[in-house]
Amino acid sequence: MPKRNFRIPEVHDESTLTREIAATRRRLHFHHRAALTIVILGAVLISLFNVMALATSIGQNPPDEEDTPCALTSCDTDQLFDIDDAISGDHTVPETPPTPILDGTEKLIALTFDDGPHGILTPRLLDHLAEANVPATFFVLGTNAAARPDIVTRAHAEGHEIGSHSFRHSQLPRLSLAALRADFAATDAAIVAATTVAPAVFRPPYGLHNATVRNNSPQALILWSIDPRDWADRDAHIVYNRVVDQARDGAIILLHDIHASTVEAVPWIITSLKTRGFTFVTVSQLFELRGITLEPGRAYLHAPPAPAPDPEIETLPTDPGLLDGDPLH
């Protein structure tokens, strides 16, 4: 408070002095009361402010120590992903590492296995693929899928793609239109029964197709760009060497999970190609990552290479691998 200068009374006589002292006391008393009033008013205002702040805080988040994210098993979905958590970045992170996110610039390659599922060899192959955490595509025969649906169910559940390879491995251009359509329908039904998902890809037996086969196929026709002839040479070393020698970005590798030598070669192929920087994907993933929408009735040999390839990377020609001509061979 600023210092006050009180007038010093001019003393003329005793009675005047007494009056001046009394007046001075009254003035001092008035100033003390004014100061006290200001202090009390200030205290009241501060109290009011605190009460209002308390009222505003009611209904907001509990204090931090009560806001610790709960374990997955004891949380409901709303709690885990509510908007406040999302904003604060304070949500629970699952312990399982997420699947790597690919953008198509990787060196991609697709393993495909035809003619199964085989009762013994396909589960063995699935074990190898699971151990290496590698997805593949199985072009199953409808008759085998119907006989061993549990293996198809397992392959699908473990992240592999299930494609159609016809019902009985017929030479499809030789079938009547009715028989061709019945073959497609029966194969797709066997796959749906095992996976609940309709196949998105189809590989004609022997690679044989004509306009009738293409026009009636519910799926895109997936051929291949690497054929190690594993059905002719039942030797794991030969199969391994032929595959790794021809490996290219965007390639589709033709193998058969009905030959023990092929299943034996798969872990070697995976290790070798991973060391060379390849990423394994399913056929549908391969084309999707390269920006190609697979069209039913069109035939594909391989996917185009990465959009901006490193000059060091081995690549196939930039065409999308379309093959609309008559039977391959």
Cβ-based nearer residue to Ni ion, 115 or 230: 115
Which of 115, 230, 249, 257 is close enough to bind Ni ion by CB under 5 A? 115
Q: Which is nearer to Ni ion, 114 or 161 (CB)?
A: 114
Binding track, positions 188-207, relative to Ni ion; x by CB under 5 A: -----------------x--
32: which 2 tokens? 């003390």
Q: Is 230 in the site for Ni ion (CB under 5 A)?
A: no
Rounded Cα gap, residues 316 and 110, in angstroms:
14
| Residue whose C-alpha is closest to residue 224's, from 163, 271, 273 | 163
Beta carbon of residue 222, minimum distance to Ni ion (angstroms, whole number): 12
Say which of 209, 256, 259, 302 is annotated catalytic.
256
114 is catalytic: yes
**82 is an active site residue:** no
Instruction: Name the residue nearer to Ni ion (CB basis): 114 or 183.
Output: 114
Size of the site for Ni ion (CB under 5 A): 3
Supply the minimum distance, in Å, between the C-beta of residue 291 and Ni ion.
29
Scan for tokens 């085989």, then name that residue. Answer: 118
For the bound state, the minimum distance from the C-beta of residue 256 to Ni ion, rounded and expressed in Å, comes to: 7
3-state secondary structure 14-64: HHHHHHHHHHHHHHHHHHHHHHHHHHHHHHHHHHHHHHHHHHHHCCCCCCH
Give the DSSP H or E segment for 83: helix 83-88
Residue showing tokens 């003390």: 32
By beta carbon distance, the residue nearest Ni ion is: 114
Residues 123-162 that bind Ni ion (CB under 5 A): none
Contact call for residue 114 and Ni ion (CB under 5 A): yes
Residue among 108, 168, 142, 137 at smallest CA distance from 290: 108
Query: Tokens 């009033």 — which residue?
Result: 37
Q: Are 300 and 271 in contact (CB under 8 A)?
A: no
Binding segment (CB under 5 A) for Ni ion, from list 24-32, 114-122, 126-134, 319-327: 114-122
Among residues 230, 281, 224, which one has the least CA distance to residue 258? 230
- DSSP sequence for 88-109: HT-PPPPSSPPPPPP-S-SEEE
C-beta of 142 vs 304, nearer to Ni ion: 142
* Closest to 108 measured CA to CA, from 295, 245, 298, 313: 313
Which one, 139 or 278, has the nearer CB to Ni ion? Answer: 139
Q: Characterize the bridge pairing of strands 161-164 and 299-300.
A: unpaired
Counting contacts by CB under 5 A, is residue 183 touching Ni ion? no
Whichever of 117 and 205 has its CB closer to Ni ion, that residue is 205
Residue positions annotated with a catalytic role: 114, 256
Which residues in this chain contact Ni ion in the complex, by CB under 5 A?
114-115, 205
